[in-house]
Every structure is written in C-alpha cells, then in structure tokens.
Amino acid sequence: MSTAFRSITDALVAACMQTPALADGRVWANRLRPLSASQANAVVVRLAQTQSSENVLGMLDWQTQFAVECYGRGTVGIDPTDAVDDLLRSVWSRLTGINAAELGAMSLALNSAIEWQFDEAETPVACAIVYLQVRHRTPVATLLA
C-alpha cells in the first residue's frame, strides 16, 4: 500500500493522462529528466512540500504542495514561452476540473502564481510551474491514504 502522498501524486498523473492525454501522454511523477532532446513537451507532477497541521483522534491533517511542471521545447530565436503556452493552458484547465474527492483529499486549490524557468540547450526549453495545495488526512501510525 502507498502513502497518501504517493496515492495523490498517482491520481494527479492519472487526471493528466485522461483523454485527451496532456503532452501526448508524456506525464510523469517526480521524473528527474522530464524532456529528452527529441521531445517537444512534457508534464511532471512533483511533490514539493508537506506539512501536518493537526493531530485529532489518531489522524493527521496535511497540507501537501504539488508542483505541476509544464515543459516545452522552443525554437532558437523565438520567445521560449511560446513553446509552453498551449500546454500551460491545458494543464491549468485540467487541474481546475479535478474534484478533491477524486484525489482522496478534503480540498484542493491552485496557487495564483506561476513560476517560470528557462534553460538553454540545443533548442531553448521553457518550464511553467503551477502549484497545487491539497488538504488531506492520514492515520498517524501509517500515513496511508
């Protein structure tokens, strides 16, 4: 059995893979090298931070932050954000459509900030990172979902 953290990560990946799959199905959990030189885009769902907030009757309430990274490979001489713009819009739309119960959670909320990162490779790569806060509960002794 998986911890709640892994179960929620898997559920977020599954939501991104629903038809039509985002990034042509290149959606991974916690992948270290998300985009190969031959790929145009990818999505990575990454655990960012978890903090317990309350211990009640043997249960812990958690606030877990997930980073949903949208990668796009651009063209030399063109604004790199163009490469990730459509994927970012699709990811945002998909995340806003998720019901907390689908994740086994009490609530979820998208942060109103998007972080941007750029990398110069053979072709430029842009990454737009959306943060999702998930509130969920686990037993203190097991951390199971």
Q: What is the pLDDT of residues 59-89, one digit of tens each?
A: 999 999 999 999 999 988 889 899 999 999 9
Question: How many CA atoms, within 13 angstroms, populate the side-chain half-sphere of residue 117?
Answer: 10
Hey, what are 125's tokens? 């790569």
pLDDT grade for 36, boundaries at 50, 70 and 90? confident
Task: For residue 111, give the nearest of 40, 63, 57, 62 by alpha carbon.
Answer: 63
Across the strands, what pairs with 136? Answer: 62
Say whether 2 sits in a helix, a strand or coil: coil
User: Could you tell me the CA-to-CA distances from 95 to 15, 21, 108 in Å, in that order?
Assistant: 8, 13, 10
Does 3.60.15.10 match the CATH number of domain 4-139?
no
Write down the pTM of the prediction: 0.94
Hey, what are 9's tokens? 């990560």
pLDDT grade for 53, boundaries at 50, 70 and 90? confident
